[in-house]
Structure 1
Amino acid sequence: MEWKAHGYRVGSSSETFDAIPTNADELDQFVALHRRKIEPWLSAVFQAEHLNLLLGSGFTTAVAFAAGVTATGMETAGGKSAHAQAIMEHATASAKKMGRGKANIEDQLRSAIAVLEGLSIIDEAVAKAVRDDVNKAMDAFLYSLLATEQGIADADSAPASAMLQSFLLSFASRAASRERLHIFTTNYDRLIERGCDDAGLRIIDRFVGTLRPLFRNTRIELDYHYNPPGIRGEPRFMEGVVRLTKLHGSLDWRFDGATRRIYRAETPFGAPQDHPSLPASPVDTVMIYPNPAKDVETTQYPYAELFRDFASATCRPNSVVVTYGYGFGDDHINRVLLDMLSVPSAHLVVLAFDLDDRVKGFLKQTRPAQVSLMAGRHFASLRHLVEDYLPKPALDYITGRMSELLKNRAFADMPVASTPAAGAGAGRAPDTGSIA
């Protein structure tokens, strides 16, 4: 279909719009009309056997916008080494090759680190100048991430925090008998962790330990259970548990050169620049960048383990991946998503603020029946998603019980003349079905 500024495609319903009503009454009517098509479909999709959520940088931008602060930018940094220009040219070429267009800080760091690895073998003196450039660029990027966190933490962001929690709970509130929601993100900040903490969600990831959590290679299917009162030997799964995988690392991941292990540092959310957990030479210790060659990113530690988790969680029958804020500019992730869609029962839900060439290029490689789409400033707005279109948490049993009571009462209040004849089930409440 011809795409306009706003629109959606869910199930058999598809609509596109050049503009959204601005009048309050007209907007309410617009939302009510399209919610009836969107929310039930998403509710059904979210009850898939395997539910995964992929969040990109647009997620942080949306939460920062709701909090009234500026999100971290991905602009490139300047350099003073003799190879700075060549590094920038290579970063630009690689970005175009991947369909990203303009190079960003990730492309620049990737190219610079590739040069640094070679120069460390050939000429350590020249390598030092490149290392200084990389350290300065990573310092600036690291501090900008922390500044975004600090801005969100310091701002009068109660509405933003509520939106963040509601957004995560819409996905995480699955019946405990179902497989846990698995959240994947390419972001380096800790906004997901902060939202889960505020919402009371427990996170399971590859880090084990309390004082110095270490990254473990083993994929033991750890989970949370509890013993119901009066029942022993029959533990039950706890509700409100999610799995989290940060595909490109995190600003608080550190590489210990002595032990060759990765651990999580005690870096507070929005820590100041002089916090002792921040290293002097981030290029050697901070795990916040993809390794040099993105096409072989899945071959190096720890990215091999992280992407194995991504592929194993998504490429299987009855699997759903919901993307939000992800621009489809990472080939290694796109390949996994396309492999997932080769399974007929798999489904992809794309929540996109804008349908640019990268998103359209990816969608051309998919089958429309396997992809739901909500795009534009209205349908992909965090506020409208949370308030209008995303399903309420599935664990809201009170609303479900109320619905059952109202249905039963409506049947009981029917006039006698309209009830079924004797022997045909008169007085019997209708089957309302499950509400899981």
Structure 2
Amino acid sequence: MSKDDDPKYNNILKVRDDHLPIAFAVSEPGKFRFKEGTEISWLSGEEFSLKELRSRIEPWLTSLFQSEHLSFLAGSGLTHAVHYLAADKAAAGMGAVALSCHEAEINKAAAETAEAAGRSQGNFEDQLRSANELLRGLEILGNKDADTLRTDLKTILTQFSASILACEWGIATADESKRELAFNTLVTFLMSFASRTGTRDRLSIFTTNYDRLIEAGAELAGLHLLDRFVGSLMPIFRSSRLDLDMHYNPPGIRGEPRYLEGVARFTKLHGSVDWVHAGNDIRRIGLPFGAAKVDAYLGTPGMKDVDANRLMIYPNSAKDREASDYPYVELFRDLAAAVCRPNSTLVTYGYSFGDEHINRVIRDMLTIPSTHLVVMSYDDPLGRIMKSYQEFGRPSQISLLIGPALSDIRTLTENFLPKAAIDRTTFRMSELLKQRFGTSISDKRATEHATDGDAA
């Protein structure tokens, strides 16, 4: 194996005016090395330090984060990163499950779905989606296997919700010092995105995760999340969200109200472990963060005949396809409306580009020349990120930060992401320094000119 093929070159950087992604490795703590033969316009030699890397990345991200429209998409990598900080291990996933009827046919359909999406093998979601489609067909035919498959799905969703809650439990019950580190890092991470000037559009947060980690981090950060749910005790999902926002009236100042700081729009694209289909409505139940299981919170008044089969976890097994499509169509419409507009920046973290519905929206977004995509990921084990980068065909509109040296969540928040509330304070300081620096130069030049005149 040649040095260029060494797998330690697992960090990929592309920002600013880089024409191609650049691979590099960690030579020693705080020191990095590019592959031999790599030509870098902004660096002489093959080795560089964290300081040089930061000076290359941080100003670029700070500028992009102040785009007119900013959106953030979190994938499962965010949950794994925070869980690892708290519990020293990645969050447990949900593998393929055993079914008592038509298992071979379901698994075959799941594999075909995965292949069509560019994935090497089917996962739990593919299997569940295929089972839901088969269940609907069996119900139409009046086949007796429908009851058996429905029971299987109920058991599977119960287990799946338990695995999601186990991830939350692992974070909530971790050692106190590690738990504080994990949540402090998460708060800093979220506020790096949410700290925007009042003249900019609100941050839009999207996630494919079913857990409530972002909600927990926002609560600790004092970040208000605006979503499609209305109500306090048992919020109900509404299609007519309109453009609700939060404002305040500055004391002693007349005029229009100003934006309240610390507010973001929030959308869970694949549903949530605390969303249930109750009657004709989608409701959010009061499920504590890290609860042991969801069953105990379903048997309440107004939730008649609601069980794990009614959990709105995509793809869910709601009673009919219309109800199944209903919330997710609205949520994906929010994603497209937020990112597919001029002067928009979309930042992804921990998203592996395995969802074709989302990839299609991103592809459409990049057809607008003033948009930009920033991809942050700890790794790319299946190669889907780089494959999507090539397929999008818009390299000048895409920035890449892939690898542990760039997108480990602590490294990212401490070195590369803009500091929370950096805008007004930093800009004021910058203007003040410019004024003072400019004044001192003018005074010096005036003095020199006067001295020359006296000498003459």
Taking structure 1 as the reference length, the TM-score comes to 0.88
Alignment correspondent of 2:101? 82
1:363 aligns with one of 373, 382, 389: 389
CA-based RMSD: 2.8
Secondary structure of the residue that 1:300 maps to in structure 2? Answer: helix
Residue 271 of structure 1: aligned partner:
291
User: In 1, distance between residues paired with 2:290 and 2:167?
Assistant: 7
The answer on 1:201 being equivalent to 2:226 is no
Query: Is 1:318 paired with 2:318?
Result: no
Aligned residue pairs total 416
1:401 CA drift (Å): 4.5
Q: Do residues 22 (structure 1) and 28 (structure 2) align?
A: yes
Q: 1:29 to 1:97 in 2, by over 3 A?
A: closer
Give a deviation string over 1:54-83, Cα, whole Å, max 9, x none.
Answer: 11111111111111244130311112x221
Change (3 A) 1:359 1:420: farther
Q: Does 1:184 align with 2:211?
A: no
Rounded Cα–Cα distance in structure 1 between residues aligned with 2:272 and 2:379: 26
Q: Distance in 2 between matches of 1:419 and 1:88?
A: 82
1:267–1:278 CA contact under 8 A, matched in 2: no
CA apart distance, 1:399: 4.9
Residues 233-244 of structure 1 mapped to structure 2, 5 A cutoff? 234-244=256-266
Letter in 1 for 2:197: A
Q: Counterparts of 2:108 and 2:322 in 1: how far apart (Å)?
A: 21
Q: Which residue of 2 aligns with 1:377?
A: 404
Unaligned runs of 5+ in 1: 424-436
Q: In structure 1, what residue type is equivalent to 2:56?
A: K
Q: Is the 8 A contact 1:175 1:395 kept in 2?
A: no
- Pick aligned residue for 2:333 from 305, 308, 319: 308
What code does the residue aligned with 2:22 have? T
CA distance in structure 1 between the partners assigned to 2:103 and 2:31 by the alignment: 56
Q: Does 1:390 align with 2:439?
A: no
Distance 1:135 1:281, change over 3 A: farther
* 1:231 Cα deviation from its structure 2 partner: 3.3
SS at match of 2:95: coil
CA 1:301 to 1:420, structure 2 compared with 1: closer, same or farther past 3 Å?
farther
Give yes or no for the alignment of 1:159 onto 2:184: no
Deviations 1:185-227 (A, max 9, x none): 1111111101100101000000011122110011311000111
For structure 2, list consecutive stretches of 5 or more residues without a partner in the other structure.
Answer: 34-46, 300-304, 451-456
Alignment check: 8 A CA contact 2:30 2:49 kept = no
2:241 and 2:215 mapped to 1: Cα distance?
20
Could you tell me which residue of structure 1 aligns to residue 57 of structure 2?
A: 38
Deviation at 1:122, TM superposition (A): 2.3
Q: Aligned AA for 1:16?
A: I
- Identify the residue that residue 5 of structure 1 maps to in structure 2: 10
Asked if 1 retains the 8 angstrom alpha-carbon contact of 2:157 and 2:309, the reply is: no
One-letter code aligned to 1:101: S
Change (3 A) 1:396 1:317: closer
1:247-281 CA-to-partner distances (Å, cap 9, x unmatched) read 11111011013xx1101111111112266214796
Contact map agreement 1:374 1:380 (CA 8 A) in 2: yes
Residue 394 of structure 1: CA displacement? 3.6
> Aligned partner of 2:29: which letter?
N
Structure 2 CA distance for aligned equivalents of residues 380 and 124 of structure 1: 50
* 1:344 equivalenced with 2:369 (yes/no): yes
Q: Percent identity?
A: 47
Q: Equivalences for 1:247-266 in 2 at 5 Å?
A: 247-257=269-279, 260-266=280-286
Equivalent in the alignment of 1:146: 165
In the superposition, the TM-score normalised over structure 2's length comes to 0.84
